[in-house]
Structure 1
Amino acid sequence: MNELLRFFIVTVMGVVIDLAIAFALHTGLGVPLWLAAAIGFTLAASANYVIHQTWSFQSGPRNLSARRAGLYALVALATLAVRVAIVVLLDRALAGAYPLAILIAGAGGSFFVNFALSKFVVFAAEPDTP
């Protein structure tokens, strides 16, 4: 199984948890949609780091690392910024209608940013040393 497929599987599981949390916070507790999206994303991203590090990117180092966790946190912030921007724009454009569809669109749009930065920055294979 290649890295993109493993990354996709982990990310889909994370997105389900992420969206469930965000949707419940927004519809059940009245949390603003952008904040609910940020909270759901943050909780799911924390779990995803561990799974990506130990399973998704097998060509790179497999042990957990504070340095890579920090890099992943920066990647998560960039991904979150893309996600929240999409959610805010769509929420305004659709006047608050279709919150679940808006959350899904934000997740989909941010997926590719997350994969590229994760693969080439956080979990890149370490160069061979002589």
Structure 2
Amino acid sequence: MNEVLRFFVVTVLGVILDIGIAYALHEQGDVPLAWAAVIGFVCAATMNYLLHQLWSFQGGTGALSFARAAKYAAVAGVTLGVRVMVVALLAIWTGGAYALLILICGAGVSFFVNFTLSKCFVFERNSAQGSAS
């Protein structure tokens, strides 16, 4: 299985976790949609980093790396910014209707941002491998 497909599989699992948490928080906990999207994203991003490091990008050492985790956190921050912007704009545009569809759209846009930045910046094959500390 190539790395784009592995990345996609991990990301789909992350999106299920992400949207499930966000939707439940919004619908059951009355958490504002943008904040629910942030919480779901952070939970999924943590799981995704671990799975991407250990499985998706197998060209690396497979060992966990503090330096790579820091890069992933930076990428996740940019991705989260894009996600929240899309969710907030769509929520304003629709008057808050269609929460699940809004969350899915935000996840879809952020997938492409995340893959591109992860591939080029975090898990690049010729980067210096960080230590596990």
Q: TM-score, normalised by structure 2?
A: 0.94
Residue 22 of structure 2 corresponds to 22
Structure 2 unaligned regions, length at least 5: 129-133
Distance (whole Å) between structure 1 residues aligned to residue 106 and residue 127 of structure 2: 34
- The Cα offsets for residues 57-80 of structure 1, whole Å up to 9 and x where unpaired, read as 012231100000000000000000
Identify if the C-alpha distance between structure 1 residues 52 and 127 changes in structure 2 by more than 3 Å, giving closer, same or farther. Answer: closer
Asked if 2 retains the 8 angstrom alpha-carbon contact of 1:55 and 1:62, the reply is yes
Q: Which amino acid aligns with 1:74?
A: A
TM-aligned CA deviation for residue 82 of structure 1: 0.4
Please report the RMSD computed on the Cα atoms of aligned residues, expressed in angstroms: 1.1
Cα deviation per residue 1:60-111 (whole Å; 9 max; x = unaligned)?
A: 2311000000000000000000000000000000001000000000000000
Contact 1:19/1:103 (<8 A) preserved: yes
> 2:86: which partner in 1?
86
Pairing of 1:38-57 with structure 2 (within 5 A): 38-57=38-57
Normalised TM-score (structure 1)? 0.96
Structure 1: which 5+ residue stretches go unaligned? none
Further displaced range: 119-128 or 64-73? 119-128
* Residue equivalent to 2:131: none
Q: What is the aligned partner in structure 1 of residue 120 from structure 2?
A: 120
1:61–1:123 CA contact under 8 A, matched in 2: no
Structure 1: 4+ residue segments shifted above 6 A: none
